[in-house]
Copies of this chain bind each other. A is one copy, B any other.
Amino acid sequence: MKKEIISIGILGLGTVGQGVLKILQENKEFIEQGIYPYKISLKKIADKNKEIILEDKSYYEILTDSAEEVVTDPEIDIVVETIGGFEPARSLIVRALEKGKHVVTANKEVVAKAGYEILNLARKNKVHFLFEASVASAIPIIGVLSRSLTSYPLKEMAGILNGTTNYILTKMSEENRDYEDALKEAQEKGFAEVDPDKDINGFDSLNKIFILSAVAFKAKINPNNIYYEGIKNISKTDIEYARELGYKIKLLALAKNGGKELDIRVHPALIREGHDLASIGGAYNAILVHGEGFGDLIFSGLGAGALPAGSMIVSDIVEIVKDYDNYNSKFKDFEEKKVKDFKQTHSSYYLRIRVKDRPGVLAEIAGSFAKNKVSFASVIQKGEPGEIVDIVFLTHKAKEGNAQEALKEVARLECVEKICNVIRVVEI
């Protein structure tokens, strides 16, 4: 006899867990229309905080402080993991899968660090491990990549995948705010974590572009080989100069399919004003996907929050239940691919260099760059002549390794006070 009621257990009642709870309750009828003739039933919720306050008192009856109880309950069919962080989340997911339960998560750390093994385990046990909410919360990008963009190998992706940094950069750009000031506001408004380091330094974006690359390119890659850089060095001055040159500064996650080698990286980038990604503001995320036949597709939406993330977790539950009696792994084999050595990649550069303001400086700097095969597209020097002045350069495309060599040399020039900033220019 076919099973008709699918039981769900939730691990962790933080922001996202409570979002899932709310959606499952408020939209039960709507959700069940989509999975007819199946029904879903919330069997158990676990949170280690015994004193947790839940709006709906009836939940206390199924609340436990033992995650173990949820992952071993023989009646539970689908486990939702919304604890966050690497451990104990990973172990609990593994336990649940071993017990033959499907698992849905929003946990990008677990997916990024242990995704391949977990997917293998899931397949071995003929259960699903789904993680739509782990990247760009409300944007169903993993579904699109794995289910809809199946006719052409993807060539390229470019994403604004971290809401905190995008919020800060937007505030700095639109309201002329300082970095520290904008970060403080992001924290006050709940867009940034109390400890925002992993957002700010680009690590969060790295996890996400790694997950997207694995899915889009069906690739097994080592995330440790991906270059990442955060936004800490971006100043109002750079944003101003960029604007003058016709660009906006965004923290971009990039992935290019070079066949055997993938060029994947995360760094701040100048993108042309007027490009669709340049106008993605505040806490929004966006992903551009480029394929040979179909051109550019852009998806944008809220990148964080209880309900945006919760809605994608619930849609993963629906995905599992819809075909409950016909298991078919959603992810096929991943092929081993290399991440291209960052020094071998190519970019144009925005350079802000502080120099002693005297004749011949430009020629000296240009000389060092030319020697390393880096040439300039434009140069701006503004303001009154004085002792010290900032010069801004835009270079033509050059090899990263060469640019780094050139910059080392330039830094040693007697006329150069300081390399204030180096930001890549991305044409997408």
Q: List residues of chain A with CB under 8 Å of any chain B CB.
A: 19, 23, 27, 30-31, 33-34, 36, 132, 137-140, 143-144, 147-153, 218, 274, 276, 279, 291-302, 307-308, 310-312, 314-315, 318-319, 322-323, 326, 328, 332
Contact = CB atoms under 8 A, between A and B. Distances in A.
A293 B276 contact: no
A315 B34 contact: no
Contact of A31 (B150, B218, B294): B150
B143 A147 contact: yes
A197 B51 CA distance: 66
Contacts of A34: 150, 332
B23 A152 contact: yes
A33 B151 CA distance: 10
A248 B410 CA distance: 47
B298 A300 contact: yes
Contact of A296 (B291, B295, B301): B301
Contacts of A36: 332
19 contacts: A33-B332, A138-B297, A139-B297, A140-B149, A147-B319, A148-B315, A150-B315, A150-B319, A151-B311, A151-B314, A293-B307, A293-B308, A294-B301, A294-B302, A295-B302, A296-B301, A297-B300, A297-B301, A299-B299
Contacts of A137: 294
A277 to B, nearest CB: 11
A291 B34 CA distance: 16
Contact of A138 (B294, B302, B308, B319): B294
A151 B27 contact: yes
B143 A148 contact: yes
A153, A295, A302, A319, most chain B CB atoms within 10 A: A295
Contacts of A299: 297-299
Nearest to A23: B151
A311 B294 contact: yes
A25 to B, nearest CB: 12
Q: Is the interface of A mostly helix, strand, loop or mixed?
A: mixed
A294, A315, A328, most chain B CB atoms within 10 A: A294
A174 to B, nearest CB: 11
Given A33-B332, A139-B297, A151-B310, 14 more contacts: A27-B151, A34-B150, A132-B148, A138-B297, A147-B319, A149-B315, A150-B314, A152-B311, A293-B308, A294-B307, A298-B299, A298-B300, A299-B299, A323-B328
Given A152-B23, A326-B323, A301 B310 contact: no
A296 B318 CA distance: 21
A132, A311, A332, most chain B CB atoms within 10 A: A311
A298 B301 contact: yes
Contacts of A23: 151-152, 293
Contacts of A153: 27, 30
Contacts of A19: 293
A134 to B, nearest CB: 14
B138 A295 contact: yes
Complex A-B, nearest 4 residue pairs according to Cβ-Cβ distance, in ascending order: A140-B148, A293-B307, A151-B314, A326-B326
Contacts of A319: 147, 150
Nearest to A20: B151
A31 B293 CA distance: 14
A138 B292 CA distance: 12
Contact of A276 (B140, B279, B297): B279
A315 to B, nearest CB: 5
Nearest to A302: B295
Nearest to A29: B153
Contacts of A140: 144, 148-149
Nearest to A36: B332
A30 B257 CA distance: 14
A323 to B, nearest CB: 6
